[in-house]
Structure 1
Amino acid sequence: MNKQLYWLSLLCSICIVFSCASTKHVDIPPVTIYANAPGVPVYQESYPIKIALKHTKLDLRFDWEKSWVFGEATLTVQPYFYPQDSVVLDANGFDVQEVARLTSNGKSRLHYTYNGKKLAIALDKSYTKDESCELFIRYIAKPNELQVGEDIASIDDRGLYFIQPNSEIGIPRQLWSQGETECNSNWFPTVNNTMVKMTQEVSLTVPDSMVTLSNGLMKTSRKNGDGTRTDTWLQDKPHSPYLTMIAAGVFQVTKDEWQGKEVSYYMEPAFAPYARKIFGNTPEMLSFFSQKLGVTYPWDKYAQIVVRNFVSGAMENTTATVFFDRMNLTPAAYKDETYEDIIAHELFHHWFGDLVTAESWSNLPLNESFATYGEYLWITHKYGQEAADMHALNDILTYFDKDTNATLDVIRFDYANREQLFDAVSYQKGGRILHMLRKTVGDEAFFAALQWYLKQHAYQSVEIHDLRLAFEKVTGQDLNWFFNQWFLASGNPDLHIESQYEDSTKQVVVNLTQQQDLTKYPLYRLPMAVDLYVQGKVIRKQITLTKQQETFRFPLAEAPQLVDVDADKYLLARKEEQKTLSEWIFQYQHAPLFMDRFEAIQQLLETIQEPRAQQILITALQDKAWIIRLMVLQGLEKFSKADLKEIFPTIKKLAISDSRSYVRAGAIMQLKNLYNKSDIKEILEMAVKDDAPSVQQALHNGK
C-alpha cells in the first residue's frame, strides 16, 4: 500500500519546481497518533488463531442514499488446533439481524452476544480441529456512520466508501473498499488477523449501469429484471481478509492479456482512452517480476482500478489493485508524473504481501519494504541503472528527512498504533536495506533466496526470521549480524571518511569512523568497496568496517587522483567525507554512478565561487541525469552576470527542449528570475505550447 508518496520533494536544491507542480505527491489527511508513554513496556504480539476462517461467502446489496450495506455472510470455520465451542468475529457497527448454523436441513439459530465491535457466537457443540461448520450472518453495515475516535481511528478507516455524485465538479457515483489495516470488518464479519487465510465468493447487486470488481474471477453475472444486476466473483486461492475488495461504478474496462490471464484497467470513460498509456507496461512487469523471482505470478487475473477520493495512494488487494484518482491522467499530466513506480509497487505486493503475508503488523516491512524495492527493480529493468539510482535517492532522502526516523526499529513490536508503521522506515529504509542485503550476498544468492522464501511460504504468513532463514539456507552463512543491525534495530551509520596518500610508505590510508551514538544505535558491520583511481585505471579493494574507528592501508606506487569509499554507493549512511575540490571534480568527471556525480555536485554547489567549480556546474547543466540539471539550475543565483550571460543559450534550450518537464519548468522559473523580460519573451511564448502542468505553473507563477 502507498500511504505516502514522495518524488524528491525533500531536495531543497530543486524545490523551486515542485512548489509549482500540480502532481507532486499525495496529501494524506492527518491521523492523530499517541505515542507510547516513556518506559512503558509494549510488545505487540502476533494475534492468536483460535478459529481458522476457511471460506467467506458474501451476498451484498446497497442503499446508495444512506450508504448502507445489506449483507448475508456465510463463513466456513473450524478450530485451528484446540477444540472450540464458540467463535468471535470482528464486526464493527453492524445491525445484526440473524445468526445461524447452516445444516443439510436448513438454518439452525445460534445464540450470540454483540457489543458493537465483536460478535461472539456460541456454537451448537465443541468442534475439533478436523471439524468445520458454516455460520450464516444477516446484517446491515453502516460504515459512513462510524464515529471517528470511538468506532474508528480516522476517516480513512471506514473500510467501505460510498462516493456520492456531484455533477458540478464532475464526481461520479462510486463505491469502493479499503481493508488495510483492519477496516474490512466495518462492512462484513471476519477475523482481523493477517495470519488467517481464506478463499471467498462475493456477490454484488448494483444498478445495471454499473461495472463491478472484486478479487478473483467473475463466476456469474445475472440481470434481476428490476434494473439491477448481480455479479458473483470467486477467489479460490487463499489470502488474508484485509485483502478483500469490492468496487462499483461507471467504469470502462480496457483489457490486455498475459499468459492467458486477463490484465484489465478500470477507468472512468473520460480517462479510459489513456488507460494503456498509464497501465500498459503491466504485462511486461508481470513477465519481469515472474522471471526475476523465479515464481510465476500466482493469481488468476490482475485488475487495476482508479477510484475517486481514495484514502491512500494505492492498495494491493489480491488480483484487484485500487489507485487514487491522480491516476486519472491526461497525456499532459503524464509528462510530469507517470506514477509507474506505484504501479510496480502494488504489483510486487502480489508476491510480497499477498502470496506471502506478514504475520503481524510489526512485520509490515516484509510487505512494504519489498514492494518499495520492487519499484527499484522495475525501473532498473525498464529504464536502466541511472534512472533506478535517481529513484533510490528519493528513498534515501525521504528516510533522512526526519530525525525521528532514526529512532525507530524497522521491525517494530512497540508501536502504539499500527498506522504508525506506514512510514519512511517500513517503506524507504526497508527497501534500501534489501538493496544492501543484495549487495552483501550477491545477485545470484539474493534472488535464489527470494525464490526459496516465496515457494516455501506460499499462501502463508511469515515473520522476519523466516526471511533470514531463507537467506541462510541458500547462502550457508549466518546472517544474524545483518538482520540484527538493520531490521531489528534503529538508526543508521554516521560515517566520517578521511583518506590520504603517504609518500613515505607508498600507501593509501583510509580512516573510517562510526560517529553514531553507540548507546542508542548499533556498531555496524559494513562491507564495502574502495576504488582507487590512478593513471586511468581503477583498483578495487574490498573492506569490512567492524570497529568504531578503523584504518585501512593499500599499497600504491603513486598518489591516486581519487579514493572513492563505498564505491557502489549502497550504504544507507550519513557520510561526512573530506575531499579536495580537485577530487570532487575528478569524481564528477570519472566515477561511473549517478550517486558519484550527485555527491560531487552537492559539494561543488557549496564552493560555487570557485571558477573551477563553476565550469563543472555549467557542464552539469547538460548532465544525463535530470535531477542534476535541475540542481544546477537552482544554484544559478550565485553565478556572476558574465557567467549568466554565457550560459543563457543553454538555459533557453533547457526551457524549450529538455526531455524532463520539471527541468523545463525550472529553467523557465530561472529565466524569469535572472534575466531581463525582453530577452526571454520569445522563449516564454514558445513555452506556452508546452502543456505539462509544471511548465504551465512555472509560466504563470507570480502573475
Structure 2
Amino acid sequence: MKYKLILCCPLVAAFFLLSCSAPKMVNLDPVTVTENMPGSTVYRGSYSRTNDIINTRLDLSFDWDSAYVHGKATILAKPYFYATDQLLLNANGFRINTVSLVNSYDKKPLRYSYDGKILSVTLDKVYKRDQNYTVFIDYVAMPNKLKVGEDISSSGDRGIYFVNKDGKDKNKPRQIWTQGETECNSNWFPTINDPQEKMTQELNITVPNEFVSLSNGSLEFSSMNGDGTRTDSWRQEQAHSTYLTMLAIGNFTITKDKWRDKEVSYYTEPAYASTARLVFGNTPEMMEFFSVKLGVDYPWDKYSQIVVRDFVSGAMENTSATVLYEGLNMSEGQYLDQNHEDIIAHELFHHWFGDLVTAESWANLPLNESFATYGEYLWDEFKHGRDQADFKGLQDLSAYISNKSKEDEDVIRFNYADREHMFDEISYQKGGRILHMLRKTVGDEAFFKALHLYLTRNAYKTAEIHDLRLVFEEVTGTDLNWFFKQWFLASGHPVLNIQNNFDPEKKEVSITIRQNQDLSKTPLYRIPMAIDIYLNGKVERKEIVLDKQKQSFIFPVAGLPDLVNVDAEKYILAEKSEVKTLQQYVFQYGHAPLFMDRMEAVIMLLQMKDENLSKRTLIAAMKDKSWAIRNTALSVIEHLSNEERTSVYGEIKELALKDSVSQVRASAVEILGKYYRSMDNRGVFAITANDKSPAVKKATSDASEK
C-alpha cells in the first residue's frame, strides 16, 4: 500500500506551532491596521538624508507622578552632503523650552518652529558637509499624553514606559524602560527617525538612590546629588542606529559574568537573582561561539540583559543592553519546561546583524531579523546538535507555511502599508530558512567567509539586500542573482509534487518533480538538491538542479531501491507531496540519517495507524534520540488495542519517570492518566507530583483527577 506525504499540511504545521515557545501576550490599546489598496503603487525606500547626527548627549531626569521626561539634549551634527541652514528633528509630543547653538561654552538662541512632531531648527548660517555644529535643546517629553490613533499607532509605541509609577500596585515593581524600534525613541528625546542614522551617545541619567540604571555602552561614573538621587553617566563611543538607544531604571539585582575581558551582566528582580545564572549563564559561551564562527569578535563595550515588567514585545536587541519580557524571570522548574535559549541567542546574534550592520530601511528588515532567527539555529546546532537545530528549522518552516495570509508578500518588501507589518513570519522564520538554503547552496566555508566579509565591510554602517548578495558573489565567484531574486525579492515558495518509479526491465529509477505553485504570483524556482538512493545496504547520492515546471531525472540502479530520498539534506523551503509505501517509510525511519527523515516518517506512520508494522515502528520511536520525535511517537498509544497498550505500559512509565526532557515526561504522565486508568499508577504519580517541572506537576494533577 502507498501513502502520500504532504509536508507541511495544516495539521502538521499546527502541531509544531503548538510546540513552539509560547508568545508573550501584551494588552495594548486597539489599533486599526490598514493594507495597501489592490493595484496601488507604493514604494517604501530608504529615507533621504539631509543632516547627520554625530553624537547625542542626553541629561535626563524623570517626574514619576506625571510620567514626564525632563531632558537636555546636546546634538553634534553636520550636513550629510548638501549645504544647509536647517536641522529637522523628530520630537513627538514635547514641550520645547529652549533651542540654542553651542559655541564653546556659550549658547546662542536659535529660531525654530515646532508642530508637535517635527522640530525645525534654523541654524545661524549655511553649513557645508565638512562643518560640524552643536544644538542644545531643553525639553519635556510627555509619553503618556500621546494619543493612540493620532500621535502614535498603539500604546506599544510610546517609546518610554513608567511601570507602577505611583507604587500603588504592591505586586509590581516601579520601573522605567524604553523601546525604540521602529521609530519610538523620538517620543523621549529629539533625534532623526531613520535606521540609517548612526551616532555615538552619552546618557546622564538621574535616578533615586535605591534604583540602578542601565544604558548602552559603559557606565563611566556615578555622582551622588545629595537629594536622594544619583546621576549615572553612560557612554557609547561606537556608532549605532538611533532606534537602538535605551535606558532602564528600577530595583534590579545585577549578576555579573564575563566574556574574555568584557563585562557580561544579568539584571533581574531580586526574587529571581538566584536563577539568573541558570537562565542566562550560556551567554558567554554564545558570545564566544558567534565570535569564532563569524570571525568577528563581539564588537560592543559590554553585554547586559535586563528583564522588565509589561514589556511590549518579547525582547529587544538594544546595543549592548538587551531588554527582555518578564517570562525570563524563571524558577528552576520553569526553566526546565522552557529555557528561552532561542530568545537569548536571537537577541545576541542581532549585535552583529542589526546592531553592527543595520538594515538601511525597514523594507530590508530581514537583514536584521532573518539572521537573528538563523542565529537560533546555529546555536542549537553547536550546543545541542543538528537534530535539535533541525527541529527548530521545522518549527520555523511550519510557522511560515501555516500563515496563508502572507503568501503574496515578498521577503524584501518595498510596498508595505505600515513598517510594523515587516515584523512577521516572512522576515523572521521564512528569512531564516532562506539563509539556511543559502548556506547549503554555497557550502559552509563560503557561507561563513561571506558573512565575515559582509560584517567587516559594513561595520557600524547600514546595508541593503544587494550588499549581502555582492559579498556572496565575491567569495564564491559565482552569480547568485537567481537565488536572491527568487527567494529574497519574491513571494511564495515552491509547491512540489514528487513521484518516483522503478523500471525493472531497464534497471532505472525515474524521479519526476512538478512545481505546482501559482506561477502568476510565485517564481518558477531553480532548486539544487540531492537525491539519495538506498539499495542493498548502500546509499548513493545524486545531485540535481530542478529548474523547470516538470522535470524527470533517470538513474541506473541494480534493483528496486529500498528508498528514494528526495531533498536528502532536507533544507528546501517548500510544500511537498510524495507517495511512498509503508515499507519505505519504515526504512526511512530506520536508515535515513537526519531528524527530518525520521520526523517525516513518524508523521506518516501515525496516519497508517491500523498497520502493525507502523505501530511497531512508532513504539520503537518512543526511544528516539530526539525528544521531539519521542513526544510525537507517543501519539500512537491512542491507536493501540488494549493488549498492545498493556505491552508498552512499562515504556510509558519509564518515560514519565526518567525522560530527560520535561515535555516528554508530561506527555507520558498525561497518557497514563488517559489510557491506563485501570493500572495502579499511584507510585508513578507520587514521584511525578514532586517533579521540578511545572508541566509534569500539572499533568500529574490532571491525571490524578481522572
Q: Distance in 1 between matches of 2:158 and 2:214?
A: 19
What is the 5 A alignment of 1:234-633?
234-633=235-634
Deviation digits for residues 588-626 of structure 1 (CA, Å, limit 9, x no counterpart): 000000000000011101111011101111111111111
Q: Which residue of 2 aligns with 1:667?
A: 668
Q: 1:654 aligns to what SS in structure 2?
A: helix
Q: Is the 8 A contact 2:205 2:232 kept in 1?
A: yes
* Cα distance in 2 between the residues matched to 1:424 and 1:24: 15
Secondary structure at 1:570 match in 2? coil
Percent identity for Structure 1 against Structure 2 = 53
Give the SS at the match of 1:579.
strand
1:194 aligns with 2:163: no
Corresponding position of 1:24: 22
Question: SS of the residue aligned with 1:113?
Answer: strand
In structure 1, the partner of 2:6 is none
> What corresponds to 1:162 in structure 2?
162
Q: Distance in 2 between matches of 1:228 and 1:44?
A: 45
Q: Does 1:42 align with 2:42?
A: yes
- Given the alignment of the two structures, is residue 149 of structure 1 paired with residue 149 of structure 2, yes or no? yes
* Counterpart Cα distance in 1 of 2:701 and 2:54: 58
Residue 17 of structure 1 deviates from its aligned partner by 8.1
- Aligned amino acid, residue 130 of structure 2: D
Q: Residue 10 of structure 1: CA displacement?
A: 7.2
CA 543–684 in structure 1, closer or farther in 2 if over 3 Å, else same = same
Distance in 1, Cα, partners of 2:66 & 2:593: 61
Structure 1 stretch displaced more, 268-277 or 523-532 = 268-277
Query: Is the alpha carbon distance of 1:455 and 1:309 closer, same or farther for their aligned partners in structure 2, counting shifts above 3 Å?
Result: same
One-letter amino acid matched to 2:97: Q
Whole-angstrom distance in 1 between the partners of 2:702 and 2:313: 29
Structure 1 residue 262 displacement after superposition: 0.7
Alpha-carbon distance in 1 for matches of 2:181, 2:305: 17
State the alpha-carbon separation in 2 of the partners of residues 17 and 369 from structure 1.
21
Most deviating of 684-693 and 138-147 = 684-693
One-letter code of the match for 1:413? Answer: F
Secondary structure, in 3 states, of the residue corresponding to 2:107?
Answer: strand
What is the rounded CA distance, in whole Å, between the counterparts of 1:160 and 1:9 in structure 2? 41
1:10-64 per-position Cα deviation (integer Å, ceiling 9, x unaligned): 754578989xxxx733224475421111111111011010000110000000011
C-alpha change, 1:26 and 1:53, in structure 2 (3 Å) is: same
The CA deviation string for residues 303-324 of structure 1, in whole angstroms up to 9 with x for no partner, is 1111111111110000101111
Contact 2:17–2:395 at 8 Å: present in 1 too? no
Aligned to 2:66: 66
Separation in structure 2 between the aligned mates of residue 32 and residue 309 of structure 1, nearest angstrom = 22
Q: Distance in 2 between matches of 1:620 and 1:304?
A: 39
Judge which range, 166-175 or 352-361, deviates more.
Answer: 166-175
- 1:84-123 equivalences under 5 Å are 84-104=84-104, 106-123=106-123
- Tell me which stretches of 4 or more aligned residues in structure 1 moved more than 4 Å: 8-18, 28-31, 165-169
The one-letter amino acid of 1:487's match is F
Q: Post-superposition shift, 1:534?
A: 1.0
Q: Which residue of 2 aligns with 1:652?
A: 653
Rounded to whole Å, the distance in 2 between the matches of 1:347 and 1:699 is: 37
Q: Distance in 2 between matches of 1:74 and 1:373?
A: 38
Residues 240 and 670 of structure 1, relative CA distance in 2, 3 Å threshold: same
Distance in 1, matches of 2:668 and 2:582, equals 27
Unaligned runs of 5+ in 2: 1-9
Counterpart amino acid of residue 132 in structure 1: N
What SS does structure 2 have at the residue aligned with 1:636? helix
2:22 partner amino acid: K
Could you give the per-residue CA deviations for residues 344-369 of structure 1, whole angstroms, max 9, x where no partner exists?
11111011000000000000000000
Counterpart of 2:220 in structure 1 is 219
TM-score normalised by the chain length of structure 2 = 0.96
Kindly state the Cα deviation for residue 476 of structure 1 after the two structures are TM-superposed: 0.8
1:680 maps onto 2:681 in alignment: yes
Q: CA deviation at 1:139?
A: 0.6
The Cα of 1:9 is off from its aligned counterpart by: 11
Indicate the larger mover: 112-121 or 679-688. 679-688
- Inter-partner Cα distance in structure 1 for 2:698 and 2:411: 39
Aligned partners of 1:33 and 1:420 also within 8 Å? no
CA distance in 1, matches of 2:481, 2:655: 50
Letter in 1 for 2:23: H
Task: Report whether the alignment pairs 1:698 with 2:696.
Answer: no
| SS across alignment from 2:201 | strand
635-644 or 144-153, which deviates more: 635-644
- Bigger CA drift: 52-61 or 691-700? 691-700
- Which amino acid in structure 2 is aligned with residue 418 of structure 1? R
Instruction: State the distance in 2 between where 1:453 and 1:271 align.
Output: 39
- The Cα offsets for residues 75-94 of structure 1, whole Å up to 9 and x where unpaired, read as 11110000111111000010
CA distance in 2, matches of 1:26, 1:633: 28
Counterpart for residue 228 of structure 1: 229
Q: Distance in 2 between matches of 1:307 and 1:566?
A: 44
The alpha carbon displacement at 1:136 in A equals 0.5
| Separation in structure 2 between the aligned mates of residue 600 and residue 89 of structure 1, nearest angstrom | 58
Q: Deviations over 1:191-231 (max 9, x none)?
A: 00111110000000000111110000011100001110000
Mapped to 2, the partners of 1:12 and 1:42 lie a distance apart of 34
Q: Deviations over 1:261-280 (max 9, x none)?
A: 11111111111111111111
Tell me how far apart the structure 2 counterparts of residues 295 and 12 of structure 1 sit (CA, whole Å): 38
Query: Shift of the alpha carbon at 1:636?
Result: 2.3
Tell me if the contact between 2:13 and 2:399 (Cα under 8 Å) persists in the aligned partners: no
1:179 aligns with: 180
**Which position in structure 1 is the counterpart of 2:7?**
none
Distance in 1 between residues matched to 2:268 and 2:161, nearest whole Å: 17
Deviation at 1:691, TM superposition (A): 3.0
Structure 1 residue 169 displacement after superposition: 5.5
8 Å contact kept, 1:530–1:566: yes
**Alignment partner, residue 56 of structure 1:** 56
Q: Secondary structure at the match of 1:116?
A: coil
RMSD value over aligned CA atoms? 1.6
CA contact (8 A) 2:356 2:459 kept: yes
Aligned-residue offset at 1:402: 1.1
1:695 is aligned with what amino acid?
V
CA distance in 2, matches of 1:10, 1:240: 40
Aligned residues: 692
**Mapped partners of 1:115, 1:10: distance in 2:** 52
Which letter maps to 2:660? S
Q: Distance in 2 between matches of 1:664 and 1:61?
A: 51
Shift of 1:680: 2.2
CA distance in 1, matches of 2:168, 2:572: 52
3-state SS of paired residue (2:407): helix
Would you say the 8 A contact 1:14–1:630 is kept in 2? no
AA at the equivalent of 1:453: Y
Contact 2:57–2:202 (Cα < 8 Å) also in 1: yes
